[in-house]
Structure 1
Amino acid sequence: MEYRKLANTDLELSVITFGSWAAGGWMWGATNRQDAVNAIRAAYNEGVTSIDTAPIYGQGTSEEIVGQAIEGIKRDKVQILTKYGMRWDLAKGDFAFKSQDNDGHPIDIYKYAGKESIIKECEDSLRRLKTDYIDLYQIHWPDTTTPMSETFEAVERLIEQGKVRYAGVCNYDDHLLAEADQYISWVSDQIPFSMVNRETEKKTIPWCVQHGKSVLAYSPLERGLLTGKMTPNHKFAPGDHRAHHPFFTAESILRTNAFLEKIRPLAHEKGASLSQLVLRWTIDHPGITIALVGARNPEQAVSNAHATHIILKRDEMDFINKQLEVLL
């Protein structure tokens, strides 16, 4: 496994970080808790020491699973990344969307990062994670109803209390990043980035590079699209958000699979799967610090971790990028 420092901190993260959205089941067609626990532990055994989660993932389920998975591991051997600012139990802030919990009950999701809400969310997360501090505490989405100064004042208080080590943001563009710089010494922006979703490399990633901030890439496999296992007639489980996502139309899957077939010989030459080749490309991409990758079982978790065993030469990166130009 490879490790990289988060900005100018002493916090080192595994370049493949376990992303536990799917582990929480919410919007992924339910979850098997023991499989998820086993997946996190299998990843840890392969050197994946960093785990990203959030309260909204299964409305607490994902954090509980992470807390269970790291029991018995010395706390300073793992890095816990979690978030705040998405409430399903409080109708306040920016309304995001309607959804269902893991039991099929309707819930309304709000983006809210008021001071008292953040303090409460942190305490709830610490309890579910069974820890007394969070390594990286990230605002999940911008909240237009709360002054940024209020939001980050609350996070600063948590840092002073020792409950949070470092502050991060998620889904912030370059303008919001510049504004956040006025209120807190934040260290990372967690943003969507994949071979087929590269909007953030236009302005956001360059801004982070220029200002010495880390970039945490989420959905590097584009929710499974880049594994090469998707077919145009794929049937998603009830509650799986991908069923209506534009990346998973029959046309999109066919075009993406055609691209993957072009790079498959390179994966074969490396003794790797397509997923591993895609992940290696992602963590080698300029400006990307780490990639967050989900796994539903130990086999997937181990496979993801082994992406770091691959070495891509400059001409091989150029070959992949050339094929991507055709796709995009």
Structure 2
Amino acid sequence: MQKRTLGKSDVQITPILMGTWQAGKKMWKGIEDADSIKTIRAAFEAGITTIDTAEVYGEGHSEQIVAEALSDVRDRVEYATKVFSNHLKYDQVITACDRSLKNLKTDYIDLYQIHWPSGAFNSETVPIEETMKALTFLKEQGKIRAIGVSNFSKTQLAEASKYGRIDSLQPPYSLFWRKIETDAMPYCIENNISILAYSSLAQGLLTGKFAADQRFDPEDNRAKNKLFQGENFKHAQQALEKLRPIADRHNSTLAQLALAWLIAQPQSNAIAGARYPKQATDNALAAELKLSADEIAEIDAIGRIVTDHLDDNPVMWNW
């Protein structure tokens, strides 16, 4: 898989990244460590070398599983992890980074990201200048190679950029969730900031595997995902039916089509999670799917069957 440069850094990433929220187990049902390890390894063997995790995914469990799967090939992979919104004071950032380094069994993190802006989830408000000072210090020490942010608006991204180089933004972004296109994307294009899209398959909705009567366990985070509820879910089913003929033309799956569309967008790369090895291998194949300009426009229009009916709230879940 041909790599891309992360922002203006010297980090090279794959356009499809392996997402490992599910490996942390918390807020997911039916996840087994052995499956997660095999799946992460399968992603690597299929050409996905950039792995995204976070300290909050199972309180470090996801990071530990990533290390279990890839420590022997550490020199051939890129680790991206995140510090949560309750650890954004200077000393907390340093401590959290050291904890993640230990969990990942490594002495450097390729991309270290602020997971949510200060104040999110009722966390204490910390000036972004203080957090960025800590991240810059970690970069100078060689403990991290690049700085990124996640779930930041354009305004928040621009403010953070005053205090250090930001090389990536990680927003929710998919064919069915496109808030970033009218907010931070123009800023990212102008400033050469890579977009690392999470929920790039709309938490599995874009795979087409969920029936119209799908019900989720209350402990599954998708039970609160707006896209799986009411009219939004009906619109998604309508859009998926229109996408199927395009996928068939390419002998691809709906998921591969959705990922190929996403990584064809400006500055955009796709984080795709997987429970099982075949899913990870299939995700990797999306990087080989080439869409024409007409097809990209056609897929774009189909996606709006869903997005034109969504409200302006940038958060995908009713938490």
What TM-score, normalized to structure 1?
Answer: 0.89
Give the Cα–Cα distance (whole angstroms) in 1 for the partners of residues 30 and 63 of structure 2.
15
Letter in 2 for 1:295: A
Give the Cα–Cα distance (whole angstroms) in 2 for the partners of residues 16 and 23 of structure 1.
18
- Partner of 2:171: helix, strand, or coil? strand
Give the Cα–Cα distance (whole angstroms) in 1 for the partners of residues 184 and 173 of structure 2.
11
Q: Report if aligned partners of 2:236, 2:305 keep a CA contact under 8 Å in 1.
A: no
Q: Which residue of 2 aligns with 1:33?
A: 33
Q: Which residue of 2 aligns with 1:248?
A: 228
Q: Report if aligned partners of 2:26, 2:57 keep a CA contact under 8 Å in 1.
A: yes
State how 1:55-94 maps to structure 2 within 5 Å.
55-73=55-73, 75-86=74-85
Letter in 1 for 2:96: E
State how 1:252-271 maps to structure 2 within 5 Å.
252-271=232-251
Runs of 5+ consecutive residues of structure 2 not aligned to the other structure: 120-124, 309-319
Pairwise CA distance, 1:26: 1.5
Give the Cα–Cα distance (whole angstroms) in 1 for the partners of residues 177 and 35 of structure 2.
29
Give the Cα–Cα distance (whole angstroms) in 2 for the partners of residues 140 and 203 of structure 1.
18
Runs of 5+ consecutive residues of structure 1 not aligned to the other structure: 87-110
Pairwise CA distance, 1:30: 4.8
Pairwise CA distance, 1:245: 2.1
Letter in 1 for 2:5: K
Give the Cα–Cα distance (whole angstroms) in 2 for the partners of residues 30 and 122 of structure 1.
29
- Partner of 1:18: helix, strand, or coil? strand
Q: Which residue of 1 aligns with 2:203?
A: 223
- The CA deviation string for residues 178-203 of structure 1, in whole angstroms up to 9 with x for no partner, is 11111111211111111111111102
Q: Which residue of 2 aligns with 1:321?
A: 300
Pairwise CA distance, 1:294: 0.1
Pairwise CA distance, 1:71: 2.2
Q: Report if aligned partners of 1:112, 1:146 keep a CA contact under 8 Å in 2.
A: no
Pairwise CA distance, 1:230: 1.1
Give the Cα–Cα distance (whole angstroms) in 2 for the partners of residues 193 and 115 of structure 1.
30
State how 1:1-328 maps to structure 2 within 5 Å.
1-73=1-73, 75-86=74-85, 111-144=86-119, 145-237=125-217, 239-288=219-268, 290-327=269-306, 328=308
Equivalenced residues, count: 302
Pairwise CA distance, 1:67: 0.6
Pairwise CA distance, 1:52: 0.3
Q: Which residue of 2 aligns with 1:107?
A: none
Give the Cα–Cα distance (whole angstroms) in 1 for the partners of residues 225 and 174 of structure 2.
15
Q: Which has the higher strand share?
A: 1
- Partner of 1:70: helix, strand, or coil? helix
Give the Cα–Cα distance (whole angstroms) in 2 for the partners of residues 139 and 325 of structure 1.
30
Letter in 1 for 2:153: D
Letter in 2 for 1:307: A
Pairwise CA distance, 1:28: 1.5
Give the Cα–Cα distance (whole angstroms) in 2 for the partners of residues 10 and 206 of structure 1.
23
State, as a whole percentage, how many aligned pairs show the same letter.
Answer: 42
Q: Which has the higher helix share?
A: 2
Give the Cα–Cα distance (whole angstroms) in 1 for the partners of residues 109 and 304 of structure 2.
40
The 1:260–1:187 alpha-carbon spacing in structure 2 relative to 1, beyond 3 Å, is same
